[in-house]
Amino acid sequence: MPIYEQFEIQIPSDTAEGQAIQEKIIAAMEAAEFSPRDVFGMRLALEEGLVNAIKHGNRMDPDKRVRIACTVSDVIASIEIEDEGPGFDWNDVPDPTAEENLDRPCGRGIMLMRAFMSKVEYNDSGNKVLLEKLRVTPDETAS
């Protein structure tokens, strides 16, 4: 199983730092020939996951850091994002597609992560999320 990227890093609570990591992961997925839709989905999920960690988890606190662990192989992209915040109850996020919530700007980030990733898993306290995308081969796309 060829590995295209593997690292673990801690970054400050700064969205620009998050962007740089995002680009590194996306470049590895492109090198591993993930489909454009997979890459699109991962960029979206990373954006939501990193913004959640930096803004909502660490509340932009410069003393707090975000840990990112990444593995991109030819079959899977697996990213773990952990912040130093108190976490949140991810079972208690309102359904953004419910009629009464449609015009409320909340809950959509997590929903998009779930829609585009093969797996999204939070730890119990809600300050760590695992994003996994299995590579779709051209054969599977055609079927």
Partner 1 sequence: MSSTRRLDIEEVGDVTVAKFVDKKILDETNIQLIGNQMFGLVDEDGRKKIVLDFSTVEYLSSAALGKLITMDKKVKAARGKLRLCAIRPEILEVFQITRLDKIFDIKSTQEQALDGM
Binding of residue 55 to partner 1 (CB under 8 A):
yes
CA-based nearest residue to 127, from 37, 66, 36, 76: 66
User: Near partner 1 by CB under 8 A, which window of 2-10, 95-103, 122-130, 131-139?
Assistant: 95-103
Q: Select from 47-55, 61-69, 77-85, 129-137 the region that touches partner 1 (CB under 8 A).
A: 47-55
Q: Does 123 bind partner 1 (CB under 8 A)?
A: no
37 touches partner 1 (CB under 8 A): yes
> Per CB under 8 A, does 103 bind partner 1?
yes
103: Cβ–Cβ under 8 A, 6 or more apart, which residues?
A: none
**Of 5, 12, 15, 88, which one interacts with partner 1 (CB under 8 A)?**
15
Is 15 in contact with 27 (CB distance < 8 Å)?
no
Q: What sign for the dihedral angle of Cα 113, 118, 123, 124? A: positive
Beta bridge partners of 65: 12
Contact (CB, 8 A) for 5 and 70: yes
Binding stretches for partner 1 (CB under 8 A): 15, 19, 36-37, 40, 43-44, 47-48, 51, 55, 96-97, 102-105, 108-109, 111-112, 115
